[in-house]
Chains A and B, each alone.
Chain A
Amino acid sequence: MMITTAGKPVPAKPLKARKGRMQRKETVAFYILISPWLLGILVFFVFGVGFSLVLSFMQWDLLHPMKFIGIDNFVRMFADTERYFRDPVFFKSLGVTFLWVLLSVPANLIVELFLAVLMNQKLKGIPFYRTVYYLPSVCSAISVNMLWLWIFNYDYGLGNTLLSYLGLPAIHWLTDAKYVLVSFTAMSVWGAGNGALIFLAGLKGISNELYEAADIDGANSVRKFFKITLPMLSPVILFNVVDAVSNAFQTFSTSFIMTSGGPDNMTNFISLLIYNNAFVSRNMGYASALSWVSLVIIVAFTYSIYKSAAKNIYYSVEG
């Protein structure tokens, strides 16, 4: 049996062999197309993870040869070792990082949901409000940091100006250990527009029939929100929360630029601690150990969020 390709007769190969050859060609094409990515994975991910793990058992400052020190880097986070004193900052750093996550993630979530619901109304001019709410999250984070540094200025900043309008005393927004994380949270909430838009898209995807059916049953707005809106949004909320938690744990530039970890280590987040140990003290081994501990904590935390949320997440059937 002859098959013609572009006019030339070609002997037919058995079906299986033809398919095998086609599959091989496809496989080759696949690997060629992913080869840049694959190279990156090998060099920066596989090697990175492996080397980082090895480093965490070493003492190294990039100049002198590496010295194997066993689990000393890990022990020194908790207790004195033969070589090192206990790291006095580690527990505090871990604590304030957790505190920051527990403050900023719920605050952002609530504001994002609220704004999304607000923007979902059938009112005029919504696109304008969408732009207003979203604009802060579009601005360069560094500019935002500088702006809020000025806003939180004790003597002349917007924060204390507004407080004075309300007849309240001025507060040391960034230099008072009691308030600094609250100030950071306020600044972070200013960027809630991003998440709000994602929730808005999710809200728009909720079928109207559900609400209409609830209306027929006589449900009021609050019931509709908790029994329809939230469950239907729950996958998006979960994703958003896990992402926010992961990002919050890795907050770096805000504390580096605005408070340098102070006051009294209240903003010395774990990422800043790692940075200082790696690139200022040149303690590569200890910094690697710290980064692994932080990784385990993030994974454990987000995993437990998934687990505890799983029973509350409603996965709607695609229509």
Chain B
Amino acid sequence: MAKGKNIAFDVFGYFLLAVFAIVFVIPFVWMISSSLKADYEIFTFPPKWIPNVFHWENYANALTAFPFFLYVKNTLYVVLGNIVGTLISSTMAGYAFARLKTPLKNFWFSIVILTMFFPGAVLRIPNYVTWNFLGLVDTLWPLILPAWMGSAFNIFLLRQFFTTIPMEIEESARIEGASRFYIIVRIMVPLIVPVIITVVIFTFRNCWNDFETPLIYLNNRSLYTVSLGLNVFKSKYGVKWSNLMAASVVVALPSVLLYAFLQKYFTEGLLIGGVKG
């Protein structure tokens, strides 16, 4: 093949990469640029991309105008509760499905798969009735307790990963007299750190982002999570686009930072649990 043709392909490749990168980045630039503008700069057309002065106080205003830190605190309760709960319950179940033999195992595992794909809308109403009956509507418990009863996706992920760990490690520990509990905690768990980190990242993102569940169960504004809070902010201060953008940037930041720091483990865990299957 002619060398010139190769170079042409490469250049075209770089060109496309760059074009799409610009397309994908522009909304971010717009978001941050807007968050740093004064009102008069927001309401001009055509807009200036870089504001004259960077109005950092928009961020301060946004974070004080609505009880941001209260919402973060509530969300963190939910997130932490979910992470701990799902790590315990899903790891237990994932290990059981991967390692233990019992006649009905496949039947139960097919239930796991079923619930993974089951459209949730049907269950929202009866579950609300259940929580209502327990008197736990308008508390954070309906957002936290379900995680303690396993998450189908995490059980699946953990089970996949457990099956990639060779039996010899367990067997040699068993010969030396270790109990099953000891095996899980001290041997298996350190081996599956990448998958655990993946579970943590997914759980964090799902809880931080979750809008529908808090919307259904929380009426008292002092219990609102960040996602509901941002929506309230929009309703009250919608016209203040600069502040809304600042608030949105802040709300988006934790997930981005989490991904940035734990990226390495995340892709590794995904690959092992998912695509390679």
Interface residues of B (CB under 8 A from A): 10, 13-14, 16-17, 20-21, 24-28, 30-31, 34, 42-47, 88-90, 92-93, 95-97, 100-103, 105, 108, 111-112, 115, 117-130, 132, 146, 148-150, 155, 177, 180, 205, 208-209, 211-212, 215-216, 226-227, 230-231, 234, 241, 244-245, 247-249, 251-252, 254-256, 259, 267, 270-271, 274-276
Contact = CB atoms under 8 A, between A and B. Distances in A.
Given A164-B45, A201-B271, 10 more contacts: A29-B180, A34-B96, A36-B149, A37-B93, A37-B149, A118-B13, A142-B251, A253-B212, A279-B128, A291-B122
Contact of A45 (B13, B30, B115): B115
A141 interface: yes
Contacts of A62: 129, 132
A201 B270 CA distance: 10
B134 to A, nearest CB: 10
Given A129-B21, A139-B255, A295-B119, A205 B230 contact: no
B127 to A, nearest CB: 6
Given A33-B100, A156-B43, A257 B245 contact: no
Given A123-B10, A150-B244, A158 B27 contact: yes
Interface string A111-140: 000010011010101100100110110111
B123 A52 contact: yes
Given A34-B108, A123-B10, A136-B24, A202 B275 contact: yes
A182 to B, nearest CB: 16
8 contacts: A23-B102, A29-B96, A115-B20, A146-B247, A156-B47, A250-B119, A271-B121, A287-B125
B231 A142 contact: yes
Contact of A118 (B20, B30, B34, B128): B20
Given A123-B10, A156-B44, A291-B121, A118 B24 contact: no
Contacts of A47: 126, 130
Given A36-B89, A43-B130, A252-B212, A158 B102 contact: no
Contact of A34 (B92, B115, B128): B92
Contacts of B274: 198
A198 B177 contact: no
Contacts of B30: 147, 150-151, 158
Nearest to A288: B125
Contacts of A49: 122-123, 126
Given A142-B227, A143-B252, A205-B275, A279 B216 contact: yes
A44 B130 contact: yes
A258 B120 CA distance: 22
Nearest to B12: A121
Contacts of B43: 155-156
Contact of B93 (A27, A34, A144): A34
Contacts, number: 241
A275 B117 CA distance: 20
Contacts of B130: 43-44, 47-48
Contacts of A30: 96, 100-102, 105
Interface string A18-61: 00000100110111011011111101110111011001000000
**Chain B binding site: helix, strand, loop or mixed by DSSP?**
helix
B95 A143 contact: no
B248 A143 contact: yes
A298 interface: yes
Contacts of B100: 26-27, 29-30, 33
Interface residues of A, number: 86
Interface in A126-184: 126, 129, 132-133, 135-136, 138-144, 146-151, 153, 155-156, 158, 161, 164
A169 B234 CA distance: 28
A294 interface: yes
4 tightest Cβ-Cβ pairs between the two chains A and B = A40-B149, A37-B150, A33-B96, A143-B252
Interface centre among A29, A34, A141 (most CB of B within 10 A): A34
A193 B256 CA distance: 14
A296 B97 CA distance: 30
Nearest to A36: B89
Contacts of A201: 270-271, 275
A6 interface: yes
A37 B255 contact: no
Nearest to A5: B177
A118 B125 contact: no
B126 A141 contact: no
B102 A26 contact: yes
Contacts of A149: 234
A292 interface: yes
A33 B254 CA distance: 33
Contact of A52 (B101, B126, B146, B227): B126
B227 to A, nearest CB: 5
A250 B231 CA distance: 20
A184 B90 CA distance: 35
B256 A135 contact: yes
Contact of B101 (A23, A41, A249): A23
B122 A190 contact: no
Contacts of B216: 275, 279
B251 A140 contact: yes
Nearest to B97: A34
A121 B13 contact: yes
B24 A133 contact: yes
B27 A148 contact: yes
